[in-house]
Copies of this chain bind each other. A is one copy, B any other.
Amino acid sequence: MALNPDRLLPVEASLRPIARRLFAEVETLPIVSPHGHTEPSWYAENPRFPDPAALFVVPDHYIFRMLYSQGVPLEALGVPRADGGPVERDGRRIWRLFAEHYRLFRGTPSRLWFEHSLQTVFGIEERLSPQSADRIYDEIAAALETDALRPRALYDRFNIEAIATTDSALDDLAHHDAVRASGWHGRILPTYRPDAVVDPDRPGFAEALRRFLALAGEAETWSGYLDAHRTRRAYFKARGATATDHGHPSARTADLAPAECELLFSKVLAGTGSAAENELFRAQMLTEMARMSLEDGLVMQIHAGSSRNHNQALFERFGFDKGADIPQRTDYVGALRPMLNVVGNEPGLTIILFTLDETVYARELAPLAGHYPALRLGPPWWFFDSPDGMMRFREAVTETTGFYNTVGFNDDTRAFLSIPARHDVARRVDCAFLAKLVGEGRLEEDEAREVAVDLTYRLAKDAYRL
């Protein structure tokens, strides 16, 4: 099961050597990780990771959703219930269940990431199966006892240059403060994610909103609310943040008159907004966040198009983020226009767009980013953070928007061990794409080499102002 050193590079005999040469230029470059979901506490407290199941299965929604789709109950995988009810706690039993169903991951990126971690972090080249399950479990468990597997050691081993976390606007960023106070050399940046106080459809929104205003010492008015964002953004920026992030069901934006905004704010605060008014509030807030980004220089990220908590029974039993968030058709052309007509022509502003709707890559996103100075395209997101997903992205957008309106790779993960695996996949796919352009006489190899380094390293640093 040893990893193929040419994996994901083109198999064609004239392209493979080109791709190898390009990949050699970028394989060992430092990892810049400007968007992700690792725990700040890992860097602050540098704990041991728990057992193999808790590392690879329980928290990984790519893994447990696939097992669930084939009839494995989430309880049997140790996924915690919302009501604290009983679930499997024996890591070894969870691991065996994973091993029994390992064939389900054939052809998926989860398989690639998992085997990359097994081999490069734990030195395990045996394929997972019911026969090998216990043996592999024991090897991983033993390694997890060592200091070499603690987060700070892995940060160095993975050659990470900087990594961003994603943090609620209500977070005090104590872990980030602790990291800085510790004198450790790692660069851990918070990201301002205000969804909990921007999306009136979230459970607990009104309460969160009041805490937010109190935290910033602002009145319960529209202008107080905007100032509270300014205060909290400054708080994040002072702790190293260079970006904000916004997860919205749609990409809709709005540019309403102040009086309309005030009325809308009073409704969402009172919890009396209709579905359409809640949507309009979110839409207006994207424009407000863009305006503030123009003021304070924070890069703005928009992740749009996920229908959250599609499975009602599962949501009630297990809560948020349990694999039942399903992409939906998403418009960008009409949706973004109000915001773009306010800030789209600002070359000093950077708004990075992410989508789960691949049909907009060529039709909408590439033409928009190929025109508006403020827009850039984020890498393929979530289900599309995969070899074919990445290749389709480059094939769909490059002819219209080029390479320089994209921003390199984001690993976007809470699975710490998968970070180098994901960057490895992205670097290989980009080199495969570039090798094809070179082989077909569309780009010369010296240029492809420069682009490979740009896609791996420079674009992410520049776009996120790191």
Interface of A toward B, CB cutoff 8 Å: 1, 3-4, 6-9, 11-15, 65-66, 68-71, 103-109, 111-112, 127, 307, 310-314, 323-324, 326-329, 331, 333-334, 337, 340-341, 344-345, 347, 356-359, 362-364, 366-373, 375, 383-384, 386-389, 395-396, 398-405, 436-437, 439-444, 447, 450-451
Which residue of B has the minimal Cβ distance to A404? B104
Contact A7 B440 (CB under 8 A): yes
B14, A11: Cβ atoms closer than 8 Å: yes
Is A107's CB under 8 angstroms from B334's CB? no
A290 to B324, CA, bound (A): 20
Contacts of A70 in B (CB 8 A): 347, 373, 404-405
Other than the known A13-B13, A313-B345, what 9 A-B pairs have Cβ atoms closer than 8 Å? A7-B442, A69-B401, A107-B402, A310-B340, A311-B344, A383-B400, A386-B399, A387-B440, A387-B442
Q: How far is the CB of A287 from chain B (nearest CB, A)?
A: 14
In the complex the two chains form, what is the Cα distance from A344 to B69 in whole Å?
10
Instruction: Tell me, in angstroms, the Cα distance from A255 to B392 when the chains sit together.
Output: 37
CB of A377, distance to nearest CB on chain B (Å): 11
Are B323 and A328 closer than 8 Å at their CB atoms?
A: no
Contacts of A340 in B (CB 8 A): 310-311
Given A311-B372, A364-B327, does the pair A105, B11 have CB atoms closer than 8 Å?
no
A65-B371 in contact given A14-B13, A328-B334 (Cβ < 8 Å):
yes
Q: Given A106-B403, A313-B341 in contact, is the A364-B8 Cβ separation under 8 Å?
A: no
A333 to B11, CA, bound (A): 37
User: Which of B6, B324, B357, B399 lies in contact with A387, CB distance below 8 A?
Assistant: B399
Q: Please state if A310 and B337 are interface contacts (CB–CB under 8 Å).
A: yes
Which of chain B's residues have a CB closer than 8 A to the CB of A371? 65, 68-69, 310-311, 323-324, 326
CA distance A119 to B328 in the complex (A): 45
Known contacts A334-B307, A441-B3, A442-B107, A402 near B345 by CB under 8 Å: no
Closest residue on chain B to residue A337 by CB atoms: B310
Contacting residues, chain B, for A358 (C-beta < 8 A): 359, 362-363
Closest B residue to A317 using CB positions: B345
Closest-CB distance, A313 to chain B (whole angstroms): 6
Bound: A402/B326 CA distance, A: 16
Q: Closest Cβ of chain B: how far from A324's Cβ, in Å?
A: 6
Q: Which of B1, B307, B373, B440 contacts A11 (CB 8 A)?
A: B440
Q: Which of B1, B68, B329, B373 contacts A444 (CB 8 A)?
A: B1
CB distance from A373 to the nearest CB of B (A): 5
Kindly state the separation between the CA atoms of A3 and B334 in the bound complex, as whole angstroms. 40
6 contacts between A and B (CB under 8 A): A70-B404, A310-B337, A311-B341, A327-B363, A328-B333, A389-B399
| Most B-side CB within 10 Å, residue of A328, A386, A405, A441 | A441
Task: Report chain B residues within 8 Å CB of A359.
Answer: 329, 358-359, 363
| Residue of B66, B71, B313, B368 touching A326 (CB-CB under 8 A) | B368
Is B370 a contact of A399 with CB atoms below 8 Å?
A: no
Check if A106 sits within 8 Å of B13, measured CB to CB.
Answer: no
A361 to chain B, nearest CB (A): 10
Most chain B CB atoms below 10 A, which of A3, A367, A444: A367
Please state if A341 and B370 are interface contacts (CB–CB under 8 Å): no
CB closest residue in chain B, given A451 = B106
Most central of A395, A396, A440 by chain B CB within 10 Å: A440
Cβ contacts under 8 Å, A441 to chain B: 3-4, 6-8
Are A395 and B388 in contact, with the CB atoms below 8 A?
yes
Give bound CA distance, A11 to B10, whole Å: 11
